[in-house]
Structure 1
């Protein structure tokens, strides 16, 4: 009786919390561009779906929180489409950053996910008529999961990762454990996740790693050629700085003057004008924006190139010798595997504890974590020209690929 009361109370709090979150986003949308996209993208969402989706046909539904999760689950989506080309696929995003970049993805119809609510979940699942649903890594929505479960529609979580600090594993986590119980099968990244799920009675778990390894390995086999980048680099060794934030850029500003024989390519996480301008101010030796770079520029004004667009980073790493990955002074580092797949040893800030691959790369001698400018310079000097570190990075990715085939094999039985 007490447990039922607890779960009912938590459901009430969850529902109210979702409504409050929606209200806050709506208020923020008056002056915040991302919040505005979040609201506007969901306007008349069911009418948008009805215009493009034939609800009499079955679909495979993939949901991604944002762009990073899309790239993580993309190998599974594309392998399914390759093996079953007649299947229709629907992709949903929670975040504007994912939707904005992949809204025209050729292999699927792409939408924002309507806010998690009882009525929305019923309407949405009626509208797309899924034969299965696949969520990548995280985002566990009560009403969507329950609706899928009640209709006996298989629901899979791929590249899942869990930590003891999450509510699922706390004494008060009964409501959240109920959400997990709606999942048909979990494919998890590490032993800790498998152990944690089994500790709460969830045994439909397979330890099979991270599908990102398949994605980055495939990308490294056939990267997009970037002629202007090749012209900029010439024969110079190059440091690729990916997904950087102001804290990263402040440290990186110490390198170009100290290493004039190197080229430096900075691809910041945010590319709005004020951020690009702040990067330019960090580098008194001068820099060049990619948007202003043309083949006619023969004599470069600087050894620093700032990438002021989205979508190039995964191909940029092929031209580097070392990579610096941003985010380690904020919420957490960004994707280290894209660089490692090309055999680039990596450097990043201190906040990497939630990323198993970062800890692995450090253990294999293929990465360094830094906090200060002095540590950055030391790490850079230790990794430049370090063939053992480069080989270890590449081998790490090659040894970890294969999760996609295992997932496909199990969900298509």
Structure 2
């Protein structure tokens, strides 16, 4: 099985290399790892008190960020080393101020893992939510370096809990301690003999709560919204946008902010073409001295399209309802950022892997929709529903505290 795992990693690398000739993300995945060990050796002192944080992508970074920042606050002498697997995480956070080194994670392999661990010599490693790499985990164990999984979540259909998952269960045995989000995850791990588990909750609640009580001020967004009620549509994909296109005509007194998951020009143009009412791009708003509400024609602008990355979490402070994209594809994106501001949430049908989405539905602070009629029905229910708003905010407030639980267990 180990041989198949190793071959699979090499095949994956070849596939990414092939796509790198015509796909930007794949190209960044390959180019970012060129001379990676030289980069690490030049920047990292293995004799420092290094702590290694690994994140699959941007979402996991935001999830693990409260733990990272609290460690840095309590122990500023420690050096923080961050690795990302995905370009969408690395490219956005490569200049993160609290890190002493930010790199792409070299692909898993015996030589790569050994060399990487020797170069950074961490006193501990912290992985957020998932990504289980055989050689990296084994190298950490061999060198007696504690490995923690935080905000972990496990499901019974995962390979670890199948009769044929012995190899993958061996990977988990290298973990020093699991901090998991729910009872199901704890029970599943214990069912395969892993009792080093703490039900700590999800650190995302700490992150989104902090963001909601100290949001970044966005004057241009505030100017666009004025006194209108606003629906913020975050991380949308084409199927989401097609569904949403009916709302501006039906609700002319509302404004809509659309922050798509992908911001390439082709996608932005498709959004503009999808809606029959006037729209404005955030970059245009940012580079003009003209107030979008001056003049009769400008008053008709109902839609603001966010064509940059990094401000979505702050946008929700200006909304009354949120729509979260991804529910017609691989799965919905972050619902908690919106809920923390007291926004009831609407999303597509693929949400079953997301505990917080199910939790918000249970307390009537979220609805899943699959059609235009269901979207309108959900919108009607939420557009003046103070109870849903209060429930969303309370849901986040009641579940914060995972960061403190984790740090106490690992003696920080």
Which residue of 2 is the match for residue 268 of structure 1?
A: 260
1:76 alignment partner in structure 2: 67
Aligned twin of 2:382:
383
CA distance in 2, matches of 1:338, 1:200: 34
Q: Which moved further from structure 2: 324-333 or 50-59?
A: 50-59
Q: Distance in 1 between matches of 2:318 and 2:74?
A: 33
Secondary structure at the counterpart of residue 60 of structure 1: strand
Bigger mean CA offset, 96-105 vs 283-292: 283-292
Q: How does 1:102-113 map to 2 (within 5 A)?
A: 102-108=93-99, 109-113=101-105
SS in 1 for 2:125: strand
Q: Give 1:355-370 correspondences, 5 Å limit.
A: 355-370=354-369
Is the 1:154–1:183 Cα contact (8 Å) retained in structure 2? yes
Q: How many residues align?
A: 404
| CA distance, structure 2, for counterparts of residue 357 and residue 56 of structure 1 | 41
* Residue 412 of structure 1, CA deviation: 2.1
Q: Of 231, 235, 243, which aligns to 2:227?
A: 235
Does 1:27 find its partner at 2:21? no
Structure 1 residues 267 and 176: CA distance shift in structure 2, 3 A: same
Aligned 1:397-412 pairs, distance under 5 A = 397-412=396-411
Distance in 1, matches of 2:107 and 2:19, equals 16
Q: What are the superposed Cα offsets for residues 84-136 of structure 1, whole Å, 9 maximum, x if unpaired? A: 01000100000000000000011111000000000000100011010000000
Match of 1:284 in 2: 276
- Deviation per residue, 1:172-225 (Å, 9 max, x gap): 111100000000000000000000000000000001110000000000001011
Q: CA deviation at 1:31?
A: 1.1
Report matched runs for 1:155-170 at 5 Å: 155-170=147-162
Residues 259-301 of structure 1 show CA distances to partners (whole Å, capped at 9, x for unaligned) of 0110100000000000000000001212111111134132424
1:296 corresponds to which residue?
A: 290
Q: How does 1:172-251 map to 2 (within 5 A)?
A: 172-251=164-243
TM-score by length of 2: 0.97
Structural mapping, 1:284-363, within 5 Å: 284-293=276-285, 294-297=288-291, 298-299=294-295, 300=298, 301-363=300-362
Whether the aligned pair in 2 keeps the contact of 1:236 and 1:263 (CA below 8 Å) is yes
2:135 corresponds to which of 134, 143, 161: 143
Preserved CA contact (<8 Å) 1:157 1:185: yes
Match of 1:122 among 103, 114, 117: 114
TM superposition outliers: structure 1 runs of 4+ over 4 Å: none
Taking structure 1 as the reference length, the TM-score comes to: 0.97
Q: Is the 8 Å Cα contact of residues 324 and 333 (structure 2) preserved in structure 1?
A: yes
Tell me if the contact between 2:249 and 2:276 (Cα under 8 Å) persists in the aligned partners.
no
Give the secondary-structure state (helix, strand or coil) at the position aligned to 2:34.
coil
Q: Deviation string for 1:233-261 (max 9, x for gaps)?
A: 11000000000000000010000011011
Distance in 2 (CA, whole Å) between partners of 1:154 and 1:261 is 55
Q: Is the Cα contact below 8 Å between 1:58 and 1:128 reproduced in 2? A: no
1:61 to 52, 59, 69: 52
SS across alignment from 1:238: strand
Whole-angstrom CA distance in 1 between matches of 2:275 and 2:361: 29
Q: Residues 387-413 of structure 1, C-alpha deviation per residue, up to 9 Å, x if partnerless?
A: 000000000000000000010111126
d(CA) in 2 for partners of 1:285 and 1:220? 31
User: Can you give the 5+ residue segments of structure 1 that lack an aligned partner in the other structure?
Assistant: 1-9
Distance 2:254 2:391 in 1: 23
CA contact (8 A) 1:132 1:155 kept: yes
The 8 Å contact of residues 228 and 295 in structure 1, kept in 2 or not, is answered as no
Unaligned runs of 5+ in 2: none
Q: Does structure 1 retain, via aligned residues, the 8 Å contact 2:258–2:304? A: yes
Checking the alignment, whether the CA contact within 8 Å between 2:181 and 2:202 is kept in structure 1 is: yes
The superposition leaves residues 46-66 of structure 1 with CA deviations (integer Å, 9 ceiling, x where unpaired) of 001111111222300000000
